[in-house]
Amino acid sequence: QVHLVQSGGGLVQAGGSLRLSCAASARTFSSYDMGWFRQAPGKEREFVAAIMWNSGNTYYHDSVKGRFTISRDNAKNTVYLQMNSLKPEDTAVYYCAATGSSTWSDPYEYDYWGQGTQVTVSS
């Protein structure tokens, strides 16, 4: 069982930055691939970024490449999402999630989810 607790988020102007954090309770955190997803009102949950537990490889949705960075600190059981050059279309509730599957872009492959945190980017 993995319990994920998110922090960060809030309101920022376009072009600004925010960092989201996701702390995991499990001692086995380092063996899970971690992802960030977001969901805007009236839209489906979409993949944002993922980081692999063994290789450290990272993957991003095209819309955030070059602006967002996912990272993890296994010693602290924490994954981060640094978001720079934010745009109004980035406004959504952001979720971190953990998976034992290799299908890192599919939300249905994730087993554990954080509580979600609101990110609002004003124009």
58-79 confidence digits (pLDDT tens): 999 999 999 999 999 988 999 9
pLDDT tens digits, 94-112: 999 999 887 889 999 999 9
What is the pLDDT, as a whole number, of residue 111? 92
pLDDT tens digits, 39-62: 999 999 999 999 998 888 999 999
Instruction: Compute the half-sphere exposure of residue 46: CA atoms within 13 Å on the CB side of its CA.
Output: 16
Torsion 47-8-82-86 (CA) sign = positive
